[in-house]
Amino acid sequence: MSYERNGCPIRFGLGILGDKWSLLIIRDLMFKGRRYYGEFLSAGEGISTNILADRLARLEDADIIHKTPDPAHGKKIVYCLTEKGLDLMPIMFSIMDWAEKYDDQTEVPREFIKELRNQPKSLRRKILASLK
Amino acid sequence: MSYERNGCPIRFGLGILGDKWSLLIIRDLMFKGRRYYGEFLSAGEGISTNILADRLARLEDADIIHKTPDPAHGKKIVYCLTEKGLDLMPIMFSIMDWAEKYDDQTEVPREFIKELRNQPKSLRRKILASLK
DNA sequence: AGATATCCTTGTTTTTTGCAAGTACGGGAG
DNA sequence: CTCCCGTACTTGCAAAAAACAAGGATATCT
């Protein structure tokens, strides 16, 4: 599905947010410190290699992520979130907030949720710092 | 895809948030005042009848929406968001906030975005009131 | 020089989605 | 009372997407 612009903000976000594999990739980049193709592949979610390659390409096309060759490994590629991608953080925070309320088996640390709710800007700065 | 619980909040939300048709149905219920099967069908998004029926069933199974027969029309069914579904509002607000920044063709009124950013609780109350 | 790692691509199968037609039933019109 | 329309779907089939398994190109390591 291509990005169809008809002015609706929810529909605008669908190409990324309405796709489970894209959400998981963004999660891994944003919160799990995963940056390489192999790390996404072995994240335990069961994604197929052709789908992973496809989603990475789409996210790059949408300027959500950016890829660069790893200087230390000529064959490796490092993926990172762009500013547009990092600006998805409030959405991810909201999802975590909602899930903490409705998932009785959630494993997010209480301190994380507390900070997420009370000081989201501070939490955001910490996460941004850890991604540098 | 069934709801697989492994403690991750993003993954927990995937069955709903990682599905474009579910997001659009929630949007229509939450912000567009659409409550009937026929209204979702003719929202202009191109959904097929079997997919709409399937997604409504899934959202009901997940306790996101609730359906009741329309007292005024014996054959009509009214769909509405449950408390769990209404609690998705901050997520939808975040998506709109993000889209307003990155969609140069967004049609969300400026006043809506302003209130969304400055007084989300007030906006939430207004929307809840309009859904009663 | 050969083996391994890395990031994919390719071909095929399976699953999901979209399309078109049809169904069951309640209510309204005549 | 009967017929027709509206409503919410279901069904069968075709098309598209996803999943599976194997393989390829290339850089790095031993």
Tens digit of each residue's pLDDT (9 = 90 or more) over A5-16: 568 999 999 989
User: Could you name the CATH architecture of A1-82?
Assistant: Orthogonal Bundle (1.10)
Q: Give me the mean pLDDT over the A80-87 stretch.
A: 97
ipTM given for this complex: 0.91
The closest CB to that of A106, out of B12, B19, B101, belongs to: B12
- Residue A73 — very low, low, confident or very high, per pLDDT cuts 50/70/90? confident
The predicted pLDDT at position A54 comes to 96
- Residue B6 — very low, low, confident or very high, per pLDDT cuts 50/70/90? low
- Residue B71 — very low, low, confident or very high, per pLDDT cuts 50/70/90? confident
CB-proximal positions of chain D, under 7 Å:
6-12, 17-23, 26-29
Ranges for all domains in chain B classified under CATH 1.10.10.10: 1-82
- Residue A72 — very low, low, confident or very high, per pLDDT cuts 50/70/90? confident
- Give the nucleotide with minimal C1' distance to the Cα of B21: C17
Residue B4 has pLDDT above 90, yes or no: no
Which residue of A lies nearest to B3 if distances are taken between CA atoms?
A: A103
Nearest-Cα distance to chain A for B48, in Å, is 15
Tokens found for residue A124: 């955001």
Average pLDDT across chain A, whole number: 92
